[in-house]
Chain A
Amino acid sequence: MKNVRVFYRKFGPCKYISHLDTNRVMIRAIGKSRLNIWRTEGFNQHAYITFALPLSLGFASECESMDFRVLDDDEDLSAIPARLNECLPEGIRVFRCAEAVYKPAAIDSAKYAVTLEPMNESEISNIELSEKWEAFLQLPEINVEKKTKKGMKTVDLKPYILAYEARQGEKVCFDLTLPAGSTLNINPNLLIQAFSDSIGTELYADITRVGIYTKEGEDFA
């Protein structure tokens, strides 16, 4: 038995598959692919899979991963992506399969490519939006209400912006790195919602997760 991790992209219509439904889609794909993997016991037996870091509904991703155990130690891992892709909807594409290097707990941060635009184009121009966004980022503190296990809490998001890089484009585009993982996870929508509230304009954010990293800054592998 080997612990195996597959990496996949999620995009297009598949952005709108919730985490729970992604789980079901994957179990069905594994069943269909006839991959020989470890299954749960009991009444409702099914392939046992886990996900290192859930993805929010509506986000695309370049770097999702899913773990399972193959029963045959000689299983050809390089053949697994093609076998799974045949059984998955177009918007989920597996591109790599390897033995897991890190434990999911090693995840420390994630990078998101974001494109911002007003929900209603006539409300504000891209240039004006871009200026307001730059100004917003210069604020000494960005306080938001965040849901925690102990109820609502005010947190300053500013220190959590681990890296920021504007990208060229007609619209407001940037890459943003935020804490991620099971202990502290900051959703980029928190920041965008705070910005939207501050300027009183409803925004649409196209968000793609482009990287997941360990504390040492290595790609989560």
Chain B
Amino acid sequence: MYPEKIEKLLLKVQKPGRYVGGEMGAVIKDKQDVDVRFAFCFPDTYEIGMSHLGIKILYSLFNEKPYIWCERVFAPWLDMEEQMRAHDIPLYALESGDPISDFDFIGFTLQYELSYSNILNMLSLGNIPVLSKDRHDLNHIVVAGGPCACNPEPITDFIDIFFLGDGEEVDLEVIELYRQCKKDGKSREEFLQLASQIKGVYVPSLYDVSYNDDGTVAAVTPKNGAPAVIEKRVMMNMDESYYPDNFVVPNIEIVHDRAVEEIFRGCIRGCRFCQAGFLYRPVREKSVECISKQCHALCQNTGYDEVSLSSLSSSDYTQVVPMLRELNSWAKPENVSLSLPSLRVDGFSDDILNEIKTVRKSGLTFAPEAGSQRLRNAINKNVFEDELMNTCRVAFEGGYTTVKLYFMIGLPTETMDDVADIPLLGKKVLDTFYSTPNRPKGKSPRVTVSASSFVPKPFTPFQWEPQDTMDVLREKQQHIKKTMAENHISPSKMSYNYHDSDTSYLEAVFARGDRRLNKVMYEAYKRGMHFDGWSDCFSLQAWFDVFEACGIDPSFYANRRRSFDEVLPWDHLDYGVSKAFLRRECERAYRSEASPNCREKCMGCGAMKYGGGVCYEKR
């Protein structure tokens, strides 16, 4: 229940339903009955946080333990923050309404770099000392996990513990250790040191980083017995991994308001720009029976009539058609519709179309990522033009008229000719529409081409690459427009959206940053910066001012080419893919050479050491 004090303020803010809790499926316990209180914080709005699968899994998992009470906390929107600060209301958790300073753990999920400023802001709104070194007792342990934990160096001053890899086991092990340390009257330092011995746990305060004269990292040195290399955790048996049979069902509309079933973890593809494709290796699938059972329970318990079958690339699920048939055996009679996001161009078969369109048609979205075949080979996005056109033809014959195409600009090895091929590919889709005899009659096609700016990320073959400067990115955006005009592509048939390169620049700085950026984060927080992922708040100039005040050159992080033998700030973290493999992949990119996927041929990335998944499938 929300704190009484906010009642009077709620009608002064937009969407007050964000701040009151009281949803179906929210877990209420008596705080006297639990040993550990965990505040699960999502550093963005309620609508975004509540749409996130990871928080749902861990929330239910933690609350299954009688001795833990896990509650949800989201970043209050600007209007609510203003009210809370004006009326001295500390950040509170939605289930109990208690301030987060009453909690043992304050856990954040790190989904995108631009949410870091919200983390600091949320701690301060909760009256928790923002800097780890200012937190002394055995409480207020600030932990964080999620994809950005693979290079957490820019926020090591604020977070006590990072969890690497899948959280289902390691989180509970650390909570259990805390409970024991509490009983034994151990100190915060003793607890952190013991925690660092658990696989998948990174305690940044137990490492010293030294730098070379040129500003690159010289060495990362563990102390107090912390391991030199921290290995990620992996759940190898997905059928036996915990999956919730119920979600907190929001009362107000959120971004993804439906049941979600994870059908496999990882991706066989190895697109060279895609961090998720390397972080979650190897691919581990759930069985059809398990998926069907979990989906059915979720729909029955939540009342949702839509299930999204989630993964990085749904059509790569080996049993996709049998799975859809099995699901539809109960979903159809129960009026539940299935959606299959992240479909690949070549995975879009008639069989699949039949199973999902029976209930609902959604627009078609494909991500060729690059306009030319040459560049698609270089980034290892194995999408071929004829496949794309075939798929579009099938879709047009099936009554679709709109197609969205996603691209990136600023990819390594990209030339202006590659850029021009982006709108030209869109044009070919339009041509395909008109050459399809059974196209929807009397309707005109519509193609949307979106281009975002490429951000080089750790643990990808492009981790050494410079990001294009903003000037170059703008030039490339203009080049797309110019090409459209020169080729007389009608804006009514094809629209072009590009994402602002400003946020991509900041993302690039923090994605591959080192510990010296902590100072920048702290200064930004002191200047009141937050919600950088939102155009309402983001100002690149404000960030440039912070960098300048801190004497740090952001282009060192964003636009510099690293040499292959440089010590990278995240080299002491092990996600299963070897640096040698990433380098080989990068060199293949320079030769515009694609690589086979894990099911075609093993490229020896290193993830075989986990002893299962796709690496051991029969080829």
Query: Which partner residue on chain A sits nearest B12 by CB separation?
Result: A119
In angstroms, Cα B253 to Cα A67, docked, is: 22
Partner of B22, one of A18, A20, A89: A89
Contact pattern, B 36-70, Cβ under 8 Å of A = 1, otherwise 0: 00000000000000000000000000000000000
Q: Tell me, yes or no, whether B3 is within 8 Å of chain A by CB.
A: no
B24 touches A12 (CB 8 A): no
A114: min CB distance to chain B, Å: 14
B619 in contact (CB, < 8 A): no
B17–A17 CB distance below 8 A: yes
Q: List B residues 1-22 near A (Cβ within 8 Å).
A: 1-2, 7-8, 10-11, 16-17, 19-22
Q: Is B221's CB within 8 Å of the partner chain A?
A: no
Known A13-B2, A16-B17, A31-B303; contact A89-B24, beta-carbon cutoff 8 A: yes
Task: Please state if B20 and A13 are interface contacts (CB–CB under 8 Å).
Answer: yes
Asked whether any CB of chain B lies closer than 8 Å to the CB of A24, the reply is: yes
B85 to chain A, nearest CB (A): 16
Instruction: Find B8's partner among A25, A57, A204 (CB 8 Å cutoff).
Output: A204
A32 touching B300 in the complex, CB below 8 Å, given contacts A58-B16, A88-B24, A91-B22: yes
CA distance A2 to B249 in the complex (A): 30
In Å, the complex CA distance between A39 and B335 comes to 10
User: In the bound complex, do residue A43 and residue B335 qualify as a contact, i.e. CB atoms below 8 Å apart?
Assistant: no
Residue from B2, B16, B257, B360 within 8 A of A43 (CB atoms) = B360
Smallest CB gap from B11: residue in A: A58
Q: Chain A residues near B303: list those with CB within 8 A.
A: 28-29, 31-33, 87
CA distance A18 to B20 in the complex (A): 13
| Bound form: Cα–Cα A119–B21 in Å | 23
- Taking the complex as formed, is B252 at the interface, i.e. its CB lies under 8 A from any CB of chain A? yes
Contact partners of B252 in chain A: CB under 8 A: 16-18, 21
Contact A25 B22 (CB under 8 A): no
Q: Do B360 and A21 touch across chains, with their CB atoms under 8 A apart? A: no
Mask: chain A, 47-83; 1 = CB below 8 Å from B; 0 = not = 0000000000110000000000000000000000000
User: Secondary structure of the B side of the interface?
Assistant: loop
Interfacial chain B residues near A13, Cβ < 8 Å: 1-2, 17, 20-23, 251
Count of chain B residues with a beta carbon within 8 Å of a chain A beta carbon: 28
Chain A residues contacting B360 (CB-CB under 8 Å) are 43-44
User: Total A-B pairs in contact (CB under 8 Å)?
Assistant: 72
B24 in contact with A24 (CB, 8 Å): no
Q: Which residue of B lies closest to A39 (CB)?
A: B335
- In angstroms, Cα B303 to Cα A33, docked, is 8
Q: B253 touches which one: A24, A31, A45, A88 (CB < 8 A)?
A: A24
Provide the residues of chain A in CB contact with B448, threshold 8 Å. Answer: none
Closest CB of chain B to A5's CB: distance in Å? 21
Residues in chain B near residue A16, CB distance under 8 A: 10, 16-17, 19-20, 251-252
In the assembled complex, A46 has its CB within 8 A of some CB on chain B: yes
B592 within 8 A of A: no
Tell me if B245 is interfacial: C-beta within 8 Å of chain A. no
Q: Taking the nearest CB of chain B, how far is it from the CB of A33, in angstroms?
A: 8
Asked if B361 CB lies within 8 Å of chain A CBs, one says yes
A90 contacts partner chain B, Cβ-Cβ < 8 Å: yes
A14 beta carbon closer than 8 Å to chain B? yes
B-chain residues with CB within 8 Å of residue A206 when the two chains form the complex: 7
Q: Is B304 in the interface zone, CB < 8 Å from A?
A: yes
- The CA-CA distance from A21 to B252 in the complex, in Å, is 6
A96 to chain B, nearest CB (A): 21
**With A14-B22, A28-B302 already in contact, 19 other A-B pairs whose C-beta atoms are closer than 8 Å:** A12-B20, A13-B17, A13-B20, A16-B251, A17-B17, A21-B253, A28-B303, A31-B304, A32-B301, A39-B335, A43-B360, A57-B11, A57-B16, A58-B10, A58-B16, A88-B24, A89-B22, A89-B23, A89-B24
A-to-B contact residues, CB < 8 Å: 12-14, 16-18, 20-21, 24-25, 28-29, 31-33, 39, 43-46, 57-58, 87-91, 119, 204, 206
User: Which of B's residues lie within 8 Å of A, judged by CB?
Assistant: 1-2, 7-8, 10-11, 16-17, 19-24, 249, 251-253, 257, 300-305, 335, 360-361
A-B pairs with lowest CB-CB distance, top 9: A13-B22, A32-B303, A13-B20, A28-B303, A16-B16, A16-B17, A204-B8, A17-B251, A58-B11
